[in-house]
Amino acid sequence: MTTAEFIRSGWSWGGATLPIAAAALLAYLVLYRGTRRWPWFAAALGVVVLTLTSPLNALADGYLFSAHMVQHILLLLVAPALLLLALPRTVSLALRPRWLGRPWVGWIAGVGTMWLWHAPSLCNAAVTSRPIHALQTCSLLLLGTMFWRQTLAPREAERLSPPVAVAYLGGACLACSVLGIVLTFSPVTVCSIYAAPVVDRLGLGSLVDSRWGLSPQRDQQIGGLLMWVPMCLIYLGAILAQVARWFAEAPRPSGVEI
Amino acid sequence: MSQSPAKPGELAPHRIPVEALALGLASGSAATAPGHDAPLLAGLWSPVRREHWTMKWLSTVDHKQIGMLYLVTALGFFVIGGVEALLIRLQLAGPNLHLLQPDTYNVVFTMHGTTMIFLVAMPALFGLANYVVPLQIGARDMAFPRLNAFSFWLVPFGGLLLHFSFLTGGAPAVGWFAYAPLSETPYTSSSSVDYWALALLVLGIGSVGTSINLIATVLTQRAPNLTLRRLPLFTWMMFVDSFLVIFAIPVLNAALVMLLIDRQLNTHFFLPPGGGTPLLWQHIFWAFGHPEVYIVALPAFGILSEIIPVFARKPIFGYEFVAGSTVAIAFLSLLVWAHHMFTVGLGHAVDLFFVAASMLIAVPTGVKVLAWSATLVGGRIRFDVPMLFCLAALVQFLLAGLTGVSLASAALDWQTKNSYFLVAHFHFVFVGLIVFAILGAVHYWFPKMSGRMLCERLGKWTFWLMTLGFNLTFIIQHFLGLAGMPRRVFTYADLPGWGWMNMVSTVGAFLMGVASLLFVWNLGRSLLRGRVAGDNPWRAWTLEWACPSPPPPENFTSLPPIHSRRPLWDDAHPDQPDPVVGTHGALDTYVPERNQTAIIAFIFSESAFFGVLILTYLYYNATPPAGPSAHDLNVLKTGLFSLGLIASSFTLWLAEKNLTRGRLGSMRFWLAATVALGAVFLFGQASEYATLFQSGVGVSSNLFATTFFTLTGFHGLHVAVGLIALMVMLGLALAGDFKSAHPPALKAVGYYWHFVDVVWIVVFSAVYVLPRLR
pLDDT tens across B162-188, in order? 999 999 988 999 999 999 999 999 999
Contact predicate B596/B747, CB 8 Å: yes
Distance from C-alpha of B505 to C-alpha of B469, rounded to nearest angstrom: 8
Least confident of A147-161, B260-274, B571-585: B571-585
Taking an 8 Å cut-off on Cβ atoms, the answer to whether B350 and A184 are in contact is: yes
Residue B37 pLDDT greater than 90, yes or no? no
> Rounded mean pLDDT of chain A?
87
Count of A–B CB contacts within 8 Å? 92
> Rounded mean pLDDT of chain B?
91
Contact predicate A73/A140, CB 8 Å: no
Residues B695-702: contacts with CB under 8 Å, at least 24 apart: B695/B628, B695/B632, B697/B628, B697/B632, B699/B261, B699/B265, B699/B267, B700/B265, B700/B266, B700/B267, B700/B268, B700/B274, B701/B627, B701/B628, B702/B274, B702/B275, B702/B625, B702/B626, B702/B627, B702/B628
Mean pLDDT value across residues B322-348: 93
Taking an 8 Å cut-off on Cβ atoms, the answer to whether B587 and A177 are in contact is: no
B contact test, residue of A243, A245, A254, A257 with most B CBs within 10 A: A243
Distance from C-alpha of B538 to C-alpha of B550, rounded to nearest angstrom: 15
Residue B38 pLDDT greater than 60, yes or no? no
- What does the pLDDT read at residue B39? 42
Contact predicate A243/B324, CB 8 Å: yes
Q: What is the chain A residue with the closest CA to B223?
A: A258
User: Using 50, 70 and 90 to split pLDDT, how confident is the model at A58?
Assistant: confident
A18: left (phi over 0), alpha (psi -120 to 50) or beta: alpha
Which are the contacts of A51, defined by CB distance < 8 A and separation ≥ 6? Answer: A57, A70, A71, A74, A75, A79
User: Using 50, 70 and 90 to split pLDDT, how confident is the model at B742?
Assistant: low
A contact test, residue of B350, B563, B620 with most A CBs within 10 A: B350
Three-class secondary structure of residue B96 per DSSP: coil
Three-class secondary structure of residue A246 per DSSP: helix
Mean pLDDT value across residues B277-284: 96
Chain B residues contacting A via beta carbons under 8 Å = 30, 224-225, 227-229, 283, 319-320, 323-324, 327-328, 331-332, 334-335, 347, 349-350, 353-354, 356-357, 360, 563, 580, 582-587, 589, 611, 615, 618-619, 622-623
- What does the pLDDT read at residue B52? 78
- Residues from chain A that touch B320, judged by Cβ atoms under 8 A, are 243-244, 247
- Backbone φ, ψ for residue A102 (5° rounding): -70, 150
pLDDT tens across B536-579, in order? 999 999 999 999 989 999 999 999 999 999 999 999 999 999 98
For B8-39, the three-class secondary structure string (H helix, E strand, C coil) is CCCCCCCCEEHHHHHHHHHCCCCCCCCCCCCH
Considering only CA atoms, which of B187, B175, B192, B181 is closest in space to residue B111? B175
User: Using 50, 70 and 90 to split pLDDT, how confident is the model at A249?
Assistant: low
Considering only CA atoms, which of B216, B250, B208, B251 is closest in space to residue B133? B216
- Residues from chain A that touch B324, judged by Cβ atoms under 8 A, are 240, 243-244, 247
- What does the pLDDT read at residue B55? 85
Pick the more confident residue, B23 or B639. Answer: B639
| Sign of the Cα pseudo-torsion (A171, A172, A175, A178, in order) | negative
Measured torsion, CA atoms of residues A211, A215, A220, A224, in degrees rounded to the nearest 10 = -50
- Residues from chain A that touch B622, judged by Cβ atoms under 8 A, are 186-188
Least confident of A52-66, B8-22, B276-290, B410-424: B8-22
User: Using 50, 70 and 90 to split pLDDT, how confident is the model at B21?
Assistant: low
Residue B50 pLDDT greater than 70, yes or no? no
pLDDT tens across B517-526, in order? 999 999 999 9
- What does the pLDDT read at residue A98? 82
User: Using 50, 70 and 90 to split pLDDT, how confident is the model at B101?
Assistant: very high
User: Using 50, 70 and 90 to split pLDDT, how confident is the model at B585?
Assistant: low
Amino acid present at B383: F
Residue B5 pLDDT greater than 90, yes or no? no
pLDDT tens across A183-200, in order? 999 888 888 888 876 667
Reply yes or no: is the peptide bond before residue B550 cis, omega within 30 of 0. yes
Least confident of A87-96, A234-243, B48-57, B685-694: B48-57
Distance from C-alpha of A226 to C-alpha of A229, rounded to nearest angstrom: 6
Residue B638 pLDDT greater than 70, yes or no? yes
Residue B267 pLDDT greater than 90, yes or no? yes
Smallest Cα distance from B482 to chain A, Å: 31
What is this model's ipTM?
A: 0.90
Q: Above pLDDT 70, what percent of chain B?
A: 93
- Residues from chain B that touch A249, judged by Cβ atoms under 8 A, are 582
Residue A110 pLDDT greater than 60, yes or no? yes
User: Using 50, 70 and 90 to split pLDDT, how confident is the model at B12?
Assistant: low
Distance from C-alpha of B221 to C-alpha of B140, rounded to nearest angstrom: 8
Taking an 8 Å cut-off on Cβ atoms, the answer to whether B357 and A181 are in contact is: no
Considering only CA atoms, which of B345, B302, B554, B555 is closest in space to residue B434? B302
Which are the contacts of B45, defined by CB distance < 8 A and separation ≥ 6? Answer: B553, B554
Contact predicate A254/A185, CB 8 Å: no
- What does the pLDDT read at residue B417? 92
pLDDT tens across B397-445, in order? 999 999 999 999 999 999 999 999 999 999 999 999 999 999 999 999 9
Residue from the list A178, A186, A250 with its beta carbon closest to the beta carbon of B611: A178
- What does the pLDDT read at residue B259? 97
Considering only CA atoms, which of B411, B426, B395 is closest in space to residue B342? B411
Distance from C-alpha of B495 to C-alpha of B276, rounded to nearest angstrom: 40
Three-class secondary structure of residue A117 per DSSP: coil
Contact predicate B451/B532, CB 8 Å: yes
Mean pLDDT value across residues B322-347: 93
Smallest Cα distance from A213 to chain B, Å: 11
Taking an 8 Å cut-off on Cβ atoms, the answer to whether A233 and B360 are in contact is: yes
Q: What is the chain B residue with the closest CA to A219?
A: B349
Taking an 8 Å cut-off on Cβ atoms, the answer to whether B331 and A232 are in contact is: yes
Residue A2 pLDDT greater than 90, yes or no? no
Least confident of B12-21, B26-35, B742-751: B26-35
- Residues from chain A that touch B327, judged by Cβ atoms under 8 A, are 166, 239-240, 243
Taking an 8 Å cut-off on Cβ atoms, the answer to whether A239 and B327 are in contact is: yes
- Residues from chain A that touch B563, judged by Cβ atoms under 8 A, are 257-258
User: Using 50, 70 and 90 to split pLDDT, how confident is the model at B623?
Assistant: confident
- What does the pLDDT read at residue A250? 54
User: Using 50, 70 and 90 to split pLDDT, how confident is the model at B25?
Assistant: very low
